[in-house]
Amino acid sequence: MTILITGATGNVGRNVVEQLVNRGADVRALVRDPSKASLPTGVEVVQGDLLDVDSLRHAMSGVSTLFLLNGVVADEYTQALIALNLAREAGIERIVYLSVIHSDIYVNVPHFAGKFGVERMIEHMGLGATILRPAYYMDNEITIKDVVTNYGIYPMPIGEKGLAMIDARDVGEIAALELIRREQSATPLPINRINLVGPDTLTGNDAATIWGDVLGRAIAFPGNDTVGFEQNLRQFMPSWMAFDMRLMAERFLTDGMLPDAGDVDRLTSMLGRPLRSYRDYVAQIVG
């Protein structure tokens, strides 16, 4: 049977596709522009959009398992609800949904609240699903590499509570393992939730220190200016998204993104290896 991947060309989705292909799975990828997809050989590419009901119905035909990833866009919640309703209509009983850690705590942050609403829909509709709840992606740090290296500061207002940052490659592999587990089960499996976290919980000062160690020079952490953070983001993203990111950063300061007891051990056991570290990720993008 076929596993359908949405968001297949993004950072996480591409890792999910590669991990599934490496494990011999039958993969179908939903993409907006097949000419730009550049996915592994053997992946069936279908053109469509999460707000295009007809294209989604076509993409879901003959599918047994769905990986649902919705980007942070203004209509993210609507996209997810349409996709899940169409999945139920198509008889898809095996789902892995990419949510976010603490979606039930960061309730004032739009894209967190939307994902929590989707989680509730999955639960109340009785859909068999794994809900993956990743913490902050290490991969976001590629956007600040030039600031760190050119100006000697770590600019992200991530606070002093700590974020359990995770590498998107680990997210992709865990998602693939869950998709295959559900795909290969003789009967649909019950709902479960998995926090996706990295091996270390890092503060702003911790992150700056690691960058400094890797670069071999001092990197400063100037503090947690969420207003300035929003203004900087508005230079290259819509105002609503920049404000959404500011609200998220403010919850970093008050709540952090902390793993639950046993999360790291659980993920390590699933992967059969240690989780990738922030230090190794920084060394990779710097090197």
At 195 the three-state DSSP class reads strand
Lookup: tokens for 227? 């207003």
pLDDT recorded at residue 151: 97
Q: What pLDDT is stored for residue 248 in this prediction? A: 98
For residues 142 and 101, the answer to whether their CB atoms sit within 8 Å is: no
Domain containing 104 equals 2-137+167-197+260-275
Number of domains present in the structure of the chain: 1
For residue 214, how many other CB atoms are within 10 A of its CB? 19
* The pLDDT value given to residue 200: 95
| pLDDT value at residue 1 | 81
- Whether residue 280 is contained in a domain is answered as no
Q: Cα separation of 205 and 201, whole Å?
A: 12
Q: How far apart are CA 178 and CA 191, in angstroms?
A: 12
pLDDT for the residue numbered 196: 98
Residue 245, in any domain of the structure: no
- Contact between residue 9 and residue 45 where contact means Cβ atoms under 8 Å apart: no
Q: Specify the CATH number for the domain of residue 266.
A: 3.40.50.720
Residue 182: the pLDDT is 98
Which of 253, 132, 280 lies closest to 199, judged by CA? 280
Q: Are residues 252 and 172 in contact, defined by beta-carbon separation less than 8 angstroms?
A: no
Q: First and final CA of the chain: distance in angstroms?
A: 41
Per the CB < 8 A criterion, the answer to whether 268 and 275 are in contact is yes
For residue 272, with 0-12 CB atoms within 10 Å meaning exposed, 13-18 middle and 19 or more buried, which class applies?
A: exposed
| Whether the Cβ atoms of residue 6 and residue 83 lie closer than 8 Å to each other | yes
Tokens standing for residue 111:
């894209």
Residue 31 lies in a domain: yes
Residue entry with tokens 């179908």: 28
Q: Is residue 103 part of a domain?
A: yes
Query: Is there a domain that residue 177 lies in?
Result: yes
Predicted confidence pLDDT, tens digits, the chain (287 residues): 899 999 999 999 999 999 999 999 999 999 999 988 999 999 999 999 999 999 999 999 999 999 999 999 999 999 999 999 999 999 999 999 999 999 999 999 999 999 999 999 999 999 999 999 999 999 999 999 999 999 999 999 999 999 999 999 999 999 999 999 999 999 999 999 999 999 999 999 999 999 999 999 999 999 999 999 999 999 999 999 999 999 999 999 999 999 999 999 999 999 999 999 999 999 999 98
Q: What is the pLDDT of residue 287?
A: 86
Q: What pTM value is reported for the model?
A: 0.97
Domain assignment present for residue 236? The answer is no
